[in-house]
Chain A
Amino acid sequence: MIENAALFRIAGAMSAYAGSRQSVIAENIANADRPGYHAKGVTPFETTMERGLALKTTGAGHLKAGGTAATFDTGAAVALEQQMVEAVDAQRNHEKALAIYRHGLTVLRTALGRA
């Protein structure tokens, strides 16, 4: 059961990460025609997760496994095509996370005899 809880937590963090990454991409695309705007890049989920998992949470107020995408200034103008590719990638990641989550729920339901 504990493994299951971790699975939910990671899937949740992944879908939250995909959501916040999509938000960054939306910002890049909305600001693409604004002079002087630099595209924002996001650190990969793996890095965010590793950093998040390395932290020990011993109190309710402590940082939990990373869910939001950390951004950095790429210093380059917005390339719409690249942003579109990234957006699709984020969407797929989100769907993947949801599928895992849903599967976890199904397993729990089965275990409870409510298939």
Chain B
Amino acid sequence: MADFTQALGISASGMTAQTARIGRLSENIANADTPGYHRKLVSFDAEVQRGQQTGRIKVGRTSLDQSPLSQIYDPSHPLADETGHYNGSNVDLLVEIADAREAQRSYEANLKMFEQIKQMSSGLLDLLRR
């Protein structure tokens, strides 16, 4: 039974991590047109308790993508410099959408595992019920 409880926790941590990832991705997508916006990147870390890896995953530090910002030509824009350009964001919608798909797939895989483990442990409890 202890194994099941642990496994449920691991799957849940996977879902939480993927949810956090989707959260950052949607921030990026929402801010795709914000001038000077750097896209946020999430990192996944292994959870460590008392010096030992628990098998669970947690979201680590959020970092900013330091790749160059896009230059948008619009001389009438209030932020435009002498050449008529201003800094856009470095969000590439295609990359964000692809990343979001991957996060969704991973979330579903974790959910599937969660359901399966739950089914197995309730099968064990059914033995007692009779």
| Chain B interface category by residue count | 35 or more
Count how many chain A residues have C-beta atoms less than 8 Å from C-beta atoms of the other chain: 31
Interface segment, one of B31-39, B88-96, B113-121: B113-121
Q: A33 in the interface, Cβ–Cβ < 8 Å?
A: yes
Closest residue to B44 on the A side, CB-wise?
A34
Provided the pairs A23-B10, A29-B11, A34-B45 are in contact, do residues A80 and B109 lie with their beta carbons within 8 angstroms?
A: yes
Q: B110 in the interface, Cβ–Cβ < 8 Å?
A: yes
Partner of B120, one of A31, A80, A94, A102: A94
- What 18 new A-B contacts, CB under 8 Å, besides A80-B105, A84-B109? A22-B7, A23-B4, A23-B55, A26-B10, A26-B114, A26-B117, A27-B7, A30-B11, A30-B55, A30-B57, A31-B44, A33-B44, A33-B102, A34-B45, A91-B116, A94-B120, A98-B123, A105-B130
Q: List 5 A-B contacts (CB under 8 A).
A: A19-B4, A23-B55, A26-B55, A30-B17, A87-B112
